[in-house]
Amino acid sequence: MSISTSTVIPEQFDTLVLDVAEDGSLGVACDEFKKIYEDFSEENQERKISSARVYGLSLGTTSFSRLVFTPRPKKGSATGFRSQFGKLAKEIDSLHGKNALFIPHPSFPKHAWKPAAEGFILGQYKFETYKGMPEKDACNMTFLTESNEDAREGGLIAKAVCKARDLTNEPSNVMTPEALAQEALKLEGLGVEVSVFGLEEIRRQRMNAFLAVARGSSKEPRLIVADYNGAPGSGERLAIIGKAICFDSGGYSMKTPEGMYGMKTDMEGAAIALGAIAAAAEAKLRINLTAIAAACENMVSAESIVPGDIVQSRSGAFIEIVNTDAEGRLTLADAISYAAEEKGATKILDIATLTGSCANALGFFYIGAFSNNDEFYKVLEKSSEESGDCILRLPLDDEYKEMYKSNVAKFKNSGSRHGGAIIAALFLGEFAGSIPWVHLDIAGTGRSEKNSGIYSIGATGTGLGLIYSLSKNLQLN
Catalytic hit among 87, 329, 447, 472: 329
Catalytic hit among 255, 343, 393, 401: 255
**DSSP alpha helices (H): ranges in 342-414?**
356-362, 374-387
3-state DSSP call for residue 445? coil
Q: CA-to-CA distance for 56 and 108, rounded, in angstroms? A: 28
Q: CA-to-CA distance for 117 and 295, rounded, in angstroms? A: 32
Cα atoms in the 13 Å half-sphere on the side-chain side of 288: 14
Assess contact for 203 and 175: CB atoms under 8 A. no
Give me the phi and psi of 386, to 5 degrees please. Answer: -75, -35
Distance of CA 205 to CAs 198, 249, 437, Å? 11, 26, 22
Closest CA to 415 of 430, 433, 431, 400: 400
- AA letter at 266: D
Q: Would you put residue 284 in left (φ > 0), alpha (ψ -120 to 50) or beta?
A: left
Assess contact for 334 and 313: CB atoms under 8 A. yes
Is residue 255 annotated as a catalytic residue, yes or no?
A: yes
Assess contact for 459 and 271: CB atoms under 8 A. yes
Q: What is the CA radius of gyration of the chain?
A: 24
Closest CA to 9 of 63, 47, 81: 63
With 0-12 CB in 10 A as exposed, 13-18 as middle and 19+ as buried, what is 465? buried
Assess contact for 246 and 177: CB atoms under 8 A. yes
Q: CA-to-CA distance for 471 and 202, rounded, in angstroms? A: 28
Closest CA to 180 of 272, 110, 117: 272
The bridge status of strand 15-20 relative to strand 66-71 is parallel
Is residue 329 annotated as a catalytic residue, yes or no?
A: yes
Active-site amino acid positions: 255, 329
